[in-house]
Structure 1
Amino acid sequence: MSADGKNQIGHVGGLHLRLPAQRTGLTGTLSNALRRRRFHPLHDRGQVLVDLAVAITLGATCIRDIRLLEHQRPMIGPVASFPTVWRALKEIDEAALRRIERARAAVRRHVWTLLAAREEGFPWACVDDQVLDGWTVIDTDGSIVCAPSEKEGAHGTHKGTYGHHGFVAVCDNTGEELAQLLSPGNTGANDAEVNIDLLTAAVAQLLGPWRKKVLIRVDGAGFSHALLEWIASAGGRAGPCYRWEYSVGWAFTERERAAVELVDVHDLWQSATGPGGRPRQDAFVADITGLLGDLSAWPPGHRVIVRKEPLHPRYERDASPYAKNKGMRYQTFATNTARGQIAFLDARHRKHARIEPKIHDRKASGMGLLPSRELQVNTAWLMATALACDLRAWLQLLALDGDLVKATPKTLRYRLLHVPARLVCGQRRRRLKIPGTWPWANAIVRAFARIQALPHPT
């Protein structure tokens, strides 16, 4: 083995991420957002941020991994060094973050217009083969990011660890990360103020038509008056055109147990449904709103639904004595959706679990390891991971087809992003020659052609 190869490029799938950033206008919009008077850096700050997002998508876990793109200079041109990337993140303060958020929203408007113009149309969310046509679905969740004690903002967590509490809001329609917050480790997941701030930033990323009918799904962290009232009021927006609904976890206390006992006595259970709307064996749902007493303090139309199923050994350790005695697992959630079968509403709420693997992917794509002791740099790094998530989602929705549209970041890297190629220069052109034996070579070439055909924003 020798290290003397020439004209060979690795991870050429990064070009499939860098080009969409240019074609959709993300690079130029970020450059304008980060431009400062009387400051003309050698490396454009918008391009630096995009390159960092590309490196994160390719698998970078720290700022030094930007060297991966330095290897690709014959293909993409000059790339910022590690110190330059560090300085670029250091320059991003709160005002710059707000400008970046506005830039992302402007580019998202163009991308979503392209998605709606496709033959298959905009990717509406689907629940058991039923399309939620016209609804924008936002899922939120939080996760502990462990860190040493010297990192700014790190604090003891409820899990006995030390670090930060990261919150993300994901659009279930497209897989994009709409908003993210980095809070001290002792911040509670059910902190209403934090959840409202997160959702406010997420909704700001939505376009006008996609902001009118919004479904917000939260786990037990959404069990608070302030948050549910904020959602029911459409974030304080007046007007009948705004229809926001929530589907949040609900506490299972003595009051709910008494209601379940009454449901058992009168046999009021209905079969829960699964894929295709078919009944699921040994899984049942019931509406217990009328058995919980006075709920007038909650938003109008507030409903509480309970689901029971056999207690799986996986959940037996954390189950309550009541659940162990019954041998059943009970889960309750609340919603202000007035119409629809309760079995469908239960299936719709359970789709919130789709955010769990997405959180796992985020932590494996830069979110799980904060690179600096300074909170400002770590916050900017978290923004770069959100850009990486957007670039990957746009690549899958606008350029890929088949299984690659729903592929996880790990699968996408293995099949497309990490493929090697040989760079051939001639006739004033540069050509990348992918091995013809690569199983997904045709998909990679098709994706490149589709990216080149994307219209520039006007």
Structure 2
Amino acid sequence: MKRSWFPGLVVDGVRESLVSSSGGLLLTRVARVSGLERGLSEALAPWRGERAVHDPGKVLFDVATAVALGGDCLSDVAVVRSQPDLFGQVASDPTVSRLIATLAGDVEAATAAIRTAREDARARVWGRRRPVAGRTGGQVIVDLDGVLVAAHSDKEGAAPTFKRGYGFHPMFAFVDHDEAGTGETLVGLLRTGSASAFTAADHISVLDAALDQLPAGERGQVLVRADTGGASKAFLHHVTELGLEYSIGFPATTPVIAAVQAIPRQAWRAAADGDGNPRDGAQVAELTGWMPATARTGGGEDWPPGMRIIARRERPHPGAQLRLTDQDGWRVTCFATNTAKGSGWRLADLEARHRLRARAEDRIRGLRDTGMRNLPLHGFAQNQIWLEIITLAADLLVWMQTLAFDHHEPARRWEPKRLRLRVLAVAGRIISSGRRRRLRLPRDWPYNRLIETSWASLQPT
């Protein structure tokens, strides 16, 4: 008879005093050392009733903790509630629902309060261990991007999307931490599914809110990146008036096509890869001097002064279909920037810097694994509060990595799914010894070193 691969175990009805999310202790430590614990409590104090037992800030933090651990709805806070030795006393499901409804009743004030607490905590985190990355050429890089979130029921604000789906189209701003870490989610703006990707007012609103999230000393040295949805005169004028730099995808309009056709062959230079080395089959050229003087998109307003248009062309991969704007078998894309000539940036470097905007897709993938695969509530304002919970959960995860690990440690770059599997979801036992309560981890868990390193790094200074 063939033996089974697995040990012969049966489930015993006797229960043990165990915790199933021992790594979640690190998230509570992040809330303490960053000041988020006190900040949320103070910010949400106006929403606490006279006879309330639970602090609204603690309730919101518990929901964010559940989301950080992998939850995707309010009822998943039960995972946190079942472990009071680890997370303290947690409100019941009805209490949590009532708080979300109360915050949604004054959504603008509630959102502002939550963001204020996050802003103060972010300043402390950056002051304690300033992110090594996110600063290319002395700049903090802020990426703006829209996300489609499907809705499987008729929720308020859900509508057909431009990709023929149905749901919502929120817009987010991220800090890019480059290769030394994941990126921070600064702000999320909930929008209906029919919202356009080219709405300048939404880009301006998200950028302004994102800048408020940065430490005050960092707000004047920001590079704003976005896809062609941000290529509006109103938005680029706004960025210019703030004294910031931008690198924005630029659509292949008729003037651009004319400029690509007019530039001489020798104007093209070899493109660079992420390490600054020449990239085979890709070239860059500046189109600014070849753009017609009448290059406008309508409305009579000029593009902001100092704007440069840079084109990149490369050979499409086998099987790719060419577009009408492609020239002589080359795939041509463009972007606009106001980084001045003589600033030390070569054309190839500017193009490589813009192409790294694709890392925003990694941030979006992480958010989808952190509560954004579905907006679980019916009301539009309630789902905006849910978006704030998601950004808070994402902050907890990234701040833990930033504070706990050196920039050479691979765990600093892990996405949420891997971080949960290896660090957060480990089981443990809480014991009392020497008048202290101790958390014991499994003897042979392969990532014990990371957890112990994190705990040591997250001690108050």
Normalised by the size of structure 1, how large is the TM-score? 0.90
1:364 equivalenced with 2:369 (yes/no): yes
Segment of structure 1 superposing worse, 101-110 or 60-69: 101-110
Q: What do the CA deviations read for 1:170-195 (whole angstroms, capped 9, x no partner)?
A: 11136211111001111101100011
Question: Paired residue for 1:405, among 369, 389, 412?
Answer: 412
Contact 2:188 2:387 in 1 (8 A): yes
Per the TM alignment, residue 322 of structure 1 is displaced from its structure 2 partner at its CA by 4.5
* d(CA) in 2 for partners of 1:40, 1:233: 49
Q: What do the CA deviations read for 1:18-65 (whole angstroms, capped 9, x no partner)?
A: 121122211211111111375342111111111111111110011111
* d(CA) in 2 for partners of 1:327, 1:409: 40
Q: Quote the residue 1:187 is aligned against.
A: 195
Question: Paired residue for 1:197, among 170, 188, 205?
Answer: 205
Contact 1:371 1:378 in 2 (8 A): yes
Q: What do the CA deviations read for 1:296-350 (whole angstroms, capped 9, x no partner)?
A: 9111110000001111247x24x41353x73321110000100321110000100
Amino acid at match of 1:331: T
Question: Paired residue for 1:327, among 326, 329, 333?
Answer: 329
Per the TM alignment, residue 257 of structure 1 is displaced from its structure 2 partner at its CA by 2.4
Q: Quote the residue 1:154 is aligned against.
A: 158
Q: Quote the residue 2:272 is aligned against.
A: 273
Q: Quote the residue 1:424 is aligned against.
A: 431
1:336 equivalenced with 2:338 (yes/no): yes
Contact 2:142 2:223 in 1 (8 A): yes
Q: Quote the residue 1:346 is aligned against.
A: 351
Q: CA RMSD in A?
A: 1.8
Q: Secondary structure at the match of 1:168?
A: strand
* d(CA) in 2 for partners of 1:38, 1:387: 23
* d(CA) in 2 for partners of 1:365, 1:195: 23
Q: Quote the residue 2:246 is aligned against.
A: 246
Q: Secondary structure at the match of 2:14?
A: coil
* d(CA) in 1 for partners of 2:86, 2:284: 57
* d(CA) in 2 for partners of 1:72, 1:445: 20
Q: Which runs of 4+ in 1 moved over 4 A?
A: none
Q: Secondary structure at the match of 1:435?
A: coil
Per the TM alignment, residue 215 of structure 1 is displaced from its structure 2 partner at its CA by 0.3
Contact 1:18 1:51 in 2 (8 A): no
Q: Quote the residue 2:115 is aligned against.
A: 101
Contact 1:149 1:155 in 2 (8 A): no
| Structure-to-structure mapping, 1:205-220, within 5 angstroms | 205-220=213-228
| Structure-to-structure mapping, 1:14-413, within 5 angstroms | 14-36=24-46, 38-92=49-103, 93-116=107-130, 122-125=131-134, 131-133=136-138, 135-148=139-152, 150-173=154-177, 175-234=183-242, 243-263=243-263, 265-294=264-293, 297-313=302-318, 316-317=320-321, 319-323=322-326, 326-338=328-340, 339=343, 340-401=345-406, 402-413=409-420
Segment of structure 1 superposing worse, 436-445 or 425-434: 425-434
Change in Cα spacing, 1:322 to 1:98, as seen in structure 2 (3 Å) is closer
* d(CA) in 2 for partners of 1:328, 1:275: 21
Q: What do the CA deviations read for 1:134-189 (whole angstroms, capped 9, x no partner)?
A: x1110010011111452111111111111111111011136211111001111101
Change in Cα spacing, 1:124 to 1:426, as seen in structure 2 (3 Å) is closer
* d(CA) in 1 for partners of 2:336, 2:453: 45
* d(CA) in 2 for partners of 1:140, 1:39: 41
Contact 1:398 1:450 in 2 (8 A): yes
Change in Cα spacing, 1:210 to 1:40, as seen in structure 2 (3 Å) is farther
Contact 1:18 1:50 in 2 (8 A): no
Q: Secondary structure at the match of 1:180?
A: strand
Segment of structure 1 superposing worse, 215-224 or 294-303: 294-303
* d(CA) in 1 for partners of 2:414, 2:401: 8
1:454 equivalenced with 2:449 (yes/no): no
Per the TM alignment, residue 101 of structure 1 is displaced from its structure 2 partner at its CA by 1.5
Contact 2:35 2:120 in 1 (8 A): no
Q: Quote the residue 1:239 is aligned against.
A: none
Contact 1:149 1:162 in 2 (8 A): no
Q: What do the CA deviations read for 1:366-387 (whole angstroms, capped 9, x no partner)?
A: 1121111111211111100000
Amino acid at match of 2:237: E
* d(CA) in 1 for partners of 2:220, 2:193: 34
Contact 1:425 1:431 in 2 (8 A): yes
Normalised by the size of structure 2, how large is the TM-score? 0.90
Q: Secondary structure at the match of 2:148?
A: strand
Q: What do the CA deviations read for 1:94-151 (whole angstroms, capped 9, x no partner)?
A: 21211221222122221111123xxxxx42436xxxx422x11100100111114521
* d(CA) in 1 for partners of 2:350, 2:259: 19
Per the TM alignment, residue 212 of structure 1 is displaced from its structure 2 partner at its CA by 1.1
Contact 2:143 2:360 in 1 (8 A): yes
Q: Secondary structure at the match of 1:184?
A: coil
* d(CA) in 2 for partners of 1:125, 1:313: 34
Contact 2:159 2:194 in 1 (8 A): yes
Amino acid at match of 1:106: D
Segment of structure 1 superposing worse, 181-190 or 21-30: 21-30
Contact 2:270 2:284 in 1 (8 A): yes
Per the TM alignment, residue 412 of structure 1 is displaced from its structure 2 partner at its CA by 0.6
Q: Quote the residue 1:119 is aligned against.
A: none
Question: Paired residue for 2:446, among 421, 432, 439?
Answer: 439
